[in-house]
Amino acid sequence: MKKIILSLILLSTTAVAYDQAALMHAYNSVVMIRGYQENGSLGYGSGVIVGENEIVTNCHVLRGTKKPWVSQGDTTYSIVSVKSNAWHDLCLLEVHNLNRTPIPLGTSVLNKNDEVVGIGHSNGAPVPLTIGGLIIATYPNQNGNLILSSAKFRLGASGSGLFNMNGELVGINTFKTTGYGTYYAVPVEWLKELMAKKEYDEFPIDGKALWEEDEDKKPYYLRIAIPKAKMEWDKVVPLAKEWTKTEPNNTEAWYELGYAYLSMEKYIEAKEAFLKSNQCDKNNIDPLFELAKLFKEDDPNVAYAYYQKLNQINMDKALEIKDLFEK
């Protein structure tokens, strides 16, 4: 079984250095959280072993249940206590006699196109499922970076782990834009803060999470997620414009505005926005990628300079447009 699982991990990655033993440890650190809801139905989610007798999961997994429990394989564990931060949607469970080695904690400071692995009980599978993906973007938020990746997860994987290729936990898979394939993990730094909390809470756990906030109060990167996925560019543009006015030095705000203009074939406006994005962060590979293509006809030398810069930062991304510049 372990050889099959590890093969799935390796098939989902490219020629990036990885730690095989550490990734297997990550796989073995994932557990299932279960509990009966008030209506009698059995709810379930995932969790990760992060400390001695400690498991992290999403608080929304525990809503409506007064007595959840933990299982791994055929073994079940009782929960002794819980610490919670409902807004961050993180709950730290103290479990009786777990006797498992915790996973090392990494950082949510990640680069775009970094390889990651999501491991959790998607669809309530009895054994964890492994999905590889790439970092799409990270968004600074309260001492950590909210992570957007392409590592897919489904119902039952809330509270599962997002790991780097060294097997370190970088985020906890928490929510997605339903039906549109954007997957978010909250940062491991929020878990570290919760582990330092001294006060304990009681079941059931209540309280609204940040991703459940009213639409007009959400961060702009969440407000544009669904219209962008639905390619409703006439809705994305005004939101992105507001974002750039509110955060004029935010590279992602300018990039999203540029991408919306590009999708509307407004190439002059797109180029201006991508240039602003690049000015905000010279190492952001997304505007470099688009600028290299946009300048190819107008100014091949400038375009090639952007391509070279992109190639220095991320060869895999540059490879996507290599044929435009190296024949």
- Tens-digit pLDDT profile for residues 75-122: 999 999 999 999 999 999 999 989 899 999 999 999 999 999 999 998
Q: Residue 187: which H helix or E strand, with range? A: strand 182-187
- Residue 23 confidence (pLDDT): 94
| Domain limits for position 319 | 215-325
Could you tell me the sign of the dihedral formed by the alpha carbons of 66, 70, 75, 78, in that order? negative
My answer on whether 234 and 99 are in the same domain is no
188 within a domain of the structure (yes/no): no
Report how far residue 48's alpha carbon sits from residue 52's, in angstroms, rounded to the nearest whole number. 12
Is position 149 annotated as part of the catalytic site?
Answer: no
The string of pLDDT tens digits covering residues 201-215 is 989 898 999 999 999
Does some domain include residue 145? no
Whether residue 206 is found in the same domain as residue 219: no
Q: Is residue 204 part of a domain?
A: yes
92 & 205 share domain: yes
| Residue after which a domain boundary falls, among 176, 210, 244 | 210
Catalytic residue among 46, 84, 149, 158: 158
Interval 250-306: pLDDT, tens: 999 999 999 999 999 999 999 999 999 999 999 999 999 999 999 998 899 999 999
Burial (CB count within 10 angstroms: exposed 0-12, middle 13-18, buried 19+), residue 186: buried
Same domain, 96 and 205: yes
Residues 204 and 258 in one domain: no
Closest Cα to residue 6, out of 34, 27, 32?
A: 27
Tell whether 274 and 203 lie within a shared domain: no
| CATH number assigned to the domain comprising residue 33 | 2.40.10.10
- Residue 135 included in any domain: no
Catalytic, 60? Answer: yes
Among this protein's residues, is 29 annotated catalytic?
Answer: no
In-domain check, residue 125 = no
| The domain boundary residue, chosen from 156, 177, 210 | 210
Same domain, 205 and 252: no
Catalytic residue chosen out of the listed positions 29, 60, 122, 286: 60
Give the total number of structural domains in the chain: 2
- In this structure, the answer to whether residues 320 and 222 fall within a common structural domain is yes
pLDDT tens string 136-175 = 999 999 999 999 999 999 889 999 999 999 999 999 999 9
Query: In this model, does residue 10 exceed pLDDT 50?
Result: no
30 in a domain, yes or no? Answer: yes
| 203 and 262, same domain (yes or no) | no
Domain final position from 170, 185, 210: 210
What three-state secondary structure class fits 16? coil
Are 225 and 281 found together in one domain?
yes
Q: What is the pTM of this model?
A: 0.90
Whether 259 and 304 share a structural domain = yes
The CATH number of the domain holding residue 283 is 1.25.40.10
Q: Does residue 36 belong to any structural domain of this protein?
A: yes
Residues 233 and 256 occupy one common structural domain: yes
- Identify whether 158 is part of a domain: no
**Residue among 265, 184, 174 at smallest CA distance from 222:** 184
Judge whether 158 and 178 are in contact, CB under 8 Å. no
| Per annotation, catalytic residue among 46, 88, 89, 277 | 89
